[in-house]
Structures are given as C-alpha cells and as structure tokens.
Structure 1
Amino acid sequence: MELLGVLAVVLVVSVDRTALGISHPKPSCRYPPSQWCRSLEIAIECKVQKQCMELNAIKPNETVPPVSITLYYETLCPDCRIFISEQLFPTWLMLKDIMSVTLVPYGNAQEVQSPTSSFICQHGEPECKGNMIQACILHLTTNSLAFQIIYCMESSADVLSAAQPCLHLYAPSVSWSSVNSCVSGDLGFRLMHGNAVMTRALNPPHTHVPWVTFNGEYTEENEEKAMSSLFHLVCELYQASRCCNPPLSFEFLNSNQTSCLI
C-alpha cells in the first residue's frame, strides 16, 4: 500500500473544507503527510508512530477478491460530496489493496428528448455538466487518477470551478481541451447514457443518492454501515482470515445524515 496517500487523509490540497462544514486539526509537525512514515524520527515528531507501525499490518490476501464498491451519485448532491470526502476516498486511501471502487455519476438525472438538452438533473444544468465532466475524466484517465481528481472536485468549495485545476494537479498529461471535447461531443453523451443504463438497471431501484452497492448488491444495513464507518464495513466484507484495524482515526458522518431523494 502506498504511503503517499494513506496519511494524507487529514489534509487536502487545494480544497476548501469549510464549504462542506468539515474541519480537521492541523498537524503539529513541519512535514507533509507524504513524509510522515519516511523515518521513525518524522513519525515521532508528527505523532503518527503507532499509525505507521499499524500500516504494515494491513496486507491483502491475494487469494481473496477485493470488496467491490459501486457508488451511484450526482456531482452537486451535498450528501454525495460528504460521503466521497469523508468516507469513500479516505477508506480507499487506506484499504485500496482490498477494495475496488466504481463511480457512476448520474444519480437522479433523467434522459430526455429535447433540442436543448439530453439530460435533466436534480440540481440543474450545472450538475448535468459536472456529471458529464466526471464521466469524461473517468474515461480519459486511469481509475486511480480519476478518483483523486473527482475527490478533489467534490471536496472543493465549487465543484465545477475545481475541475480544471484538479485535473492539472493529478493528471497533468491529460489536457483540459480533451475533457471539453468529450463533454461537448458525442462521447460525453454516450458515457452519460451508459451511466443512465447502469443506474436504471439497479435492483432494487435506487430511491436516493448516494446509493452504494457492495459486490453488486444493495442492502439498507450495509448502506447504514457505510455512511457511519465504511472502513469497518470493508474489513467486515473482506473474506480474509484476519481483519484490519484503522491506522487513522478520522471524522465520521453522524448517523442522522440525510440523502438526496428522488
């Protein structure tokens, strides 16, 4: 497991968490998160010695398939943004060796036959654009890079304004013009249509977002666990001989969080 992202859960590059009502204490050391486990001295100074030691205990069992998580969401839904920022991305950073993530930006949108638009989105035209931008980013980059870019966008004060700088930060080799071409062309429409088909095929049908399936199945019990402690749920679902303990304690969502309903 890469150390670069694991201890960066508590910090975000170019992200305004205030807009999401999220706050974290600032680290009391002079090193960036990517350096926290580089040496014993740095770990002690940054007060993460125990976490760095525990990190080595989280090893995948190569004979056991990873936990497959699919998130059906929409880009401007506040609850989706919080779930991505506070549960899904931090858990993926720590447990990426035993879990796989598929992102489906569409949510409660609808396909329509209109001369001006092909989709209607719950949070208006900006969300339709955000959904398509992220669908194109998922298509044009690797899954790992796309997830980091989308996390960067969803954690920012303005999701759409953050798209270009987040792309340049995590995937500088991918031009913004290629994303624009995708969004404004037939490719973007085909990608969104594919997401619409996937979302409509859900069984049971989704009634809100974020809607999360585990290994292709949805249950209310797993959703409740995912909203409060996705890390522990992934460990519970991972069919290995030993479980894992969280190497970091991070702020979880409270249990009375609402969702974006259809």
Structure 2
Amino acid sequence: MATSFQLAMAFAFSFYLAKAAPPVVSMEMEQAKANPVNMTVYYESLCPGCNFFITQELHPLWPKIKDLDLMTVNLLPFGNAQERRIGFQWEFTCQHGKAECTGNIVETCMIHYYPDTTKQLNMVACFNANYIGTLGADWQASLQNCSKTGVDVEKIKTCVTGHEGNNLEHIMAMNTGPHGYTPFIMLDGVVNPNAEDHLLSEVCRVYKGVKPPICSQ
C-alpha cells in the first residue's frame, strides 16, 4: 500500500509532466493562425483604373475585413513613372503628366505620416477621387477637400513641397518592381489580375487559414 509520501511524490511528478509537456495544437488551430495575405498595389494618382480599384473595391471592402486579420495593405503610388537624379533631388516623369507626379507625392506623404491602414485608405481614397475628378487641376484644393478625413493638410503640403516628399517618392520608386500595367496587384508576392475586380474572393482564395464567414458571402 502506498504511503502518504509516495502518493505526494507521484502527484508532484504528474503535475511536473503536465506543466512541461508541450501544448497540443490541432491542425485547425494552426490554420486559424495563418498570416494575413499581404496585398501590394503599384498605382498612379491619375490612373482611371487605379482610382476605380481604390475607391470602389479596396476602400469599401476594408471596413468589412479590417478586424479579421485577413489582409494587410501596402500602397505604392509610383506606377509607370520614371526618375533621374539631378543634384541632391530626384526628377520624376509620369505617365499622365506632371500633375500625376505631384499627386503621387501627396499620397506618398499621406502613407508615410498615417501608417494606420484605415486612416490611410480614407485619406488616399478621398484625395484620389477628388484629384482625378478635376484631372489633377489643383492638388492643394483636392487635399483641402479631404480635411474631413483627419489629414493634417499643412503637414502634407510641407512634405510635398520639400525634400522629404521628394525622397519618400524615391523610396516608392525603389520598392516598385517590374510590372506591365497599373493597378498592378500582388497577393503574397504573386501578381493577381483577378484581384482588381474580385479582391475579396481572391484574398480568401489565397488565405491559408480557416476562411472567415465573409469569404462565403
């Protein structure tokens, strides 16, 4: 018959094993913790297709999925532009003219100062819609029209007209890889043309975790 001491030792040993044993993680739990899909978009401020994607596809979708850890957003407003160094600055040449280069820098400054995706998309979508609506006539007026999104208008103006905006746009150029058109959308590093018109379904298809209910809608 076991003594009290032996029973106590046996209990202590079983407790130690329970604490030391690695947790059992089911395949379902591992799938549920999959990384969000990383979406990267090469685009331009006066590109009609880019504007449609941002204002009609991406921006309306984001509030529905932002708390699901389903996707991250990386916007790169450079697109088909070219750059060359002149002294200590960069000179940009854009597909839709000089106004587009300026619009790209405005959105680059927004992206830099507002890394929160919700704020960023609210500001970029607002500016993009305003700017392309006037064919790039007045970037400052378009920016002012978006003050309701919480953007610090004066801070962005200073960024755009100074060395900071110029350097930030060069970084956008450095991060823009080879592409044949805009908007050029990549999901987890793979180009996905279907995402331009069917973003949610493509993100859900690429996502490796357990699909949230919105994916079946």
Quick check: TM above 0.5? yes
In structure 2, distance between residues paired with 1:184 and 1:153: 17
Whole-angstrom CA distance in 1 between matches of 2:96 and 2:211: 43
- Output the amino acid matched with 1:94: K
Q: Aligned equivalents of 2:109 and 2:145: distance in 1?
A: 15
Residue 99 (structure 2) aligns with = 126
Letter in 2 for 1:193: H
Shift of 1:63: 1.4
Question: How far apart are residue 243 of structure 1 and its match?
Answer: 4.7
Kindly provide the CA deviation profile for residues 32-57 of structure 1, in whole angstroms up to 9, marking residues without a partner as x: xxxxxxxxxxxxxxxxxxxxxxxxxx
More helix by share: 2
Partner SS state of residue 245, structure 1 = helix
Separation in 1, partners of 2:78, 2:148: 24
Cα separation, partners in 2 of 1:86 and 1:247, compared to 1, 3 Å: farther
- C-alpha change, 1:105 and 1:244, in structure 2 (3 Å) is same
2:148 paired residue number: 169
- Which AA in structure 2 matches 1:162? S
Instruction: Give unmatched runs, 5+ long, in structure 1.
Output: 1-60, 249-262
Identity of aligned residues (%): 32
Change (3 A) 1:130 1:165: same
Contact 2:53 2:196 in 1 (8 A): yes
Is the Cα contact below 8 Å between 1:121 and 1:127 reproduced in 2? yes
Q: Deviations over 1:80-116 (max 9, x none)?
A: 0011112222222222231110100001111134589
TM-score scaled by length of structure 1: 0.62
Aligned residues: 177
Query: If you compute each CA radius of gyration, which structure gives the higher value, 1 or 2?
Result: 2
Q: Larger relative CO (CA 8 A, sep 6+): 1 or 2?
A: 2
Equivalent of residue 105 in structure 1, options 72, 77, 83:
77
Counterpart code for 1:171: G
Contact 1:235–1:244 under 8 Å retained in 2 = no
SS at match of 1:188: helix
Contact 1:134–1:150, Cα closer than 8 Å, also in 2: yes
Post-superposition offset of 1:196: 0.7
Structure 1 CA distance for aligned equivalents of residues 215 and 149 of structure 2:
26
- Match runs of 1:24-173 below 5 Å: 63-96=33-66, 97=68, 98-113=70-85, 118-144=91-117, 145-156=119-130, 157-158=133-134, 160=139, 161-166=141-146, 168-171=147-150
Query: Equivalent residue of 1:242, what SS?
Result: coil
| Structure 1 residue aligned with 2:183 | 210
Q: Which amino acid aligns with 1:186?
A: H
Aligned residue number for residue 207 of structure 2: 238
Which residue identity is paired with 2:200?
A: F
